[in-house]
Amino acid sequence: MIKTDYTITENKQQVRDLLTQGEVQLTFTKSNGDTRLMRASLSAELLPPAKDIGSAGPPNPDLQVVWDLEAAAWRSFKWERLAEVAAK
């Protein structure tokens, strides 16, 4: 297995592109050291209806916010902890 460096801008963009196209399975290490598998998306077809919640401030470039399809909730992961990405 080739380890991809997901902290590189081009690799981040490839993952974001996959997320906006549909469902993606992400594997990453949680802050407590556990490995987490998440079915996630940023596709408008899979997201909940938008709500006007105002601005949360500037985005953190070290984090990616995604819609967790199983939990039906917004979640985030750190790019440096992302281990594997698989499009569904």
User: Has this prediction a pTM greater than 0.75?
Assistant: yes
Q: Where in the chain are the domains? A: 9-46+61-87
The rounded distance, in Å, linking the Cα atoms of 68 and 51 is 17
> What is the per-residue pLDDT across 54-77, written as a single tens digit (0 to 9) for each?
556 788 999 999 999 999 999 999
Contacts of 28 (CB under 8 A, 6+ apart): 35, 36, 38, 77, 78, 81, 82, 83
> 9-46+61-87 — its CATH code?
2.30.30
What was the pLDDT predicted at 40?
Answer: 97
What was the pLDDT predicted at 88?
Answer: 83
Taking alpha carbons only, the member of 78, 85, 58 closest to residue 7 is 78
Beta bridge partners of 86: 25
CB 80 within 8 A of CB 29: no
